[in-house]
Amino acid sequence: MVLHRVHHQILRSHHLFEPLNDEQMDELMSTGHLLSIDKGEPLFRQGEPADAFYFVIAGAVKIYRLTPDGQEKVFEVIGDRQTFAEAMMLMDTPNYVASAEAVCPTQLYRLSNHTYMRLLQNNSRLTFALLAKLSVRLHQRVNEIETLSLKNATHRVVRYLLTQLVRQQTVDSQFELPMAKQLIAGHLSIQPETFSRIIRRLIDENIITQDGRQIAILDRLRLEQFE
């Protein structure tokens, strides 16, 4: 696969690829594929063979599972310059444990688990980079479990807004919600109507403003303390 110079620089900025030398990067990319997919297009389904992981160049992908009653539970939405499904390389199961689907037009790389694992055997820095990435994911999941188990819906929404503010690294306290409210509500295990009601309360209290998916934090301290 011919690797565009700009994409090469983007990949190099991610810690899963930074330890690779040029020869190793060429080896990894020789078995990879550059994909451009539309909104709603699946990348893989739960139960399919887990033979690849992904790097998002631009766009967003939701990771989700279907409950026995057919409800969709969104675990995470992966955005620009993030990877997903890399944990599958180290799991005993040969199949994906969740599904992945684009939530908007998305460009990304599909990278071979087999090739990356071969490179891991010869590069200790690469091994520690992968372990660091998985440790961060584990810490995020523990925090999410605590929030979902112990906190009420309002707290979940408030923490979600604050997390998005930090993640998008804005300087003017404004950010864009990465997905529709139905998906956010599913991610937080609340009903879409509950999410909308809490957002309306925050607006009425002059803590935030909303214009479509654009959110502006007017009073961060009050938002942090809001119940």
pLDDT, tens digit, 9 for 90 and up, residues 121-154: 888 887 887 788 778 777 777 777 666 554 688 8
In a domain, 140, yes or no: no
The per-residue pLDDT for 1 is 45
Confidence at 48, pLDDT banded by 50, 70, 90: very high
Count the Cβ atoms, other than its own, within 10 Å of residue 46: 13
pLDDT over 90 at 205, yes or no: yes
What is the Cα–Cα distance from 227 to 215, expressed in whole angstroms? 19
Q: Which residues pair with 110 in a beta bridge?
A: 33, 54
What is the Cα–Cα distance from 199 to 23, expressed in whole angstroms? 50
Q: Which two tokens stand for residue 218?
A: 């007017």
pLDDT mean across residues, the chain = 86
Q: Where a domain ends, among 83, 100, 135?
A: 135
Cα distances (angstroms) measured from residue 128 to each of 16, 18, 22, 84, 125: 9, 12, 19, 17, 5
In a domain, 221, yes or no: yes
Q: Domain limits at 155?
A: 151-225
Cα distances (angstroms) measured from residue 132 to each of 46, 53, 89, 106, 199: 25, 16, 14, 26, 35
Cα distances (angstroms) measured from residue 118 to each of 23, 29, 141, 176: 13, 13, 28, 39
Are residues 160 and 140 in contact, defined by beta-carbon separation less than 8 angstroms? no
- Whether 15 and 92 map to the same domain: the answer is yes
More confident residue, 20 or 216: 216
- Whether 17 and 108 map to the same domain: the answer is yes
